[in-house]
Amino acid sequence: QCEQEHKEVKAFYQRTNKNDAVGQITQLERREAALQKLTRQKNEAARIPPIATVEEPAPETSGQKRKRGSQTPAKEILPTVDFVESESLPYTPPEVHFHISMSRNFHCNIPMWLNDHAGDPAVADFLPKLREHLLSRVLHPTWSGNGREYTPEERAKLLIVNNRLYRHKVLRINYTSYDLRRGQDSMNPRTHADIMMLAPEDSADADHTFTYARVIGVFHVDVIHNVVGASPTAVPIPFLWVRNFRLDRSFKGGFRKRRLHRIEFVPESDPDAFGFINPDEVIRGCHLVPAFAHGPSERVPQSLARHKGEFDDWKYHYVNLYVAF
């Protein structure tokens, strides 16, 4: 297929007026891609079984009262904030490593939100993992724990104010490039935001310098540590909800092998498949290239870990190496 791609470009060229041909070819290609996407969505919808017909309710008798309120179902709350929504995020000072808006415009009740998505592997043990992460941030903010430090009784003493989870659109990361220049990455979970961190010493991939994850959502919560001597004032703590990658041990990569490292998603059945990360631990965004030759995974049910309409993942990704000068 790749060898025949030049024919596509030539066909597009014939449809231009030869003025600014590159720009016109780009528009034609984008238009064709959009039409193909609509066709795929239409075909996907056609394969979904029809919803059973709901019987009309019996007419009200004179002794019954009419219920007030709209019958429109509530809109599903996703980890991401919709593109059309506006959230203030002013200029990021270069001295600050990360920047997340602290607005409170988009929030949800955590227990109700988890109940709405019960059965989704992404939210399995969501609240215990979140309390574990937040408690470690409160007790030792300069380093991360292994996610299994505290007992349920200790985690219960960390109060999330109003059980509210505040959602945000974008995470900004300031970093230093290899030529000692300042750079900034902007990660939006709506567009497959992949990040890299330093690998912990006790990690299964400790022989590799970095670990990789895909950001599902950017959040913050207000917490109070309900113990003697702690401040009664609520403290906002920002964090990232991520889906973790792991190295593909059946594949050798690196400079000596002259091949890119290959990674895969941690299986959803693994307790470490999903977790939380301190934004301050993110080095920068990373460029992951799907291993198209290995194809996608088997179809799975819709999950918060994937975008709407996505029912599978690429089996493997290559970690692209690049140096910006």
Mean local confidence (pLDDT), 127-132: 94
In this structure, what DSSP letter does residue 34 have?
H
Tokens of 22: 């590159």
Q: CA–CA separation, 192 vs 39, rounded Å?
A: 22
Predicted pLDDT at 180: 85
pLDDT interval class at 92 (50, 70, 90): confident
The parent domain of residue 302 ranges over 77-319
pLDDT digits (tens, 9 = 90+) for 164-178: 999 999 999 999 888
In a domain, 32, yes or no: no
Predicted pLDDT at 197: 93
**pLDDT above 50 (res 53):** no
Residue-wise DSSP of 106-164: SEEEHHHHHHHTTT-GGGTTHHHHHHHHHHHHHH-TTS---S--S-HHHHHTEEEGGGE
pLDDT interval class at 55 (50, 70, 90): very low
Structurally, the chain folds into a number of domains equal to 1
Predicted pLDDT at 67: 52
Predicted pLDDT at 2: 57
Q: What does pTM read for this prediction? A: 0.75
**pLDDT above 70 (res 280):** yes
In a domain, 154, yes or no: yes
Better pLDDT: 319 or 4: 319
Predicted pLDDT at 52: 44
Predicted pLDDT at 324: 47
In a domain, 275, yes or no: yes
Q: How many Å from the N-terminal Cα to the C-terminal Cα in the chain?
A: 34
Q: CA–CA separation, 210 vs 202, rounded Å?
A: 13
In the beta sheet, which residues pair with residue 318? 262, 289
Give whole-number Cα distances, 224 to 139, 220, 252, 307, in Å. 12, 13, 46, 33
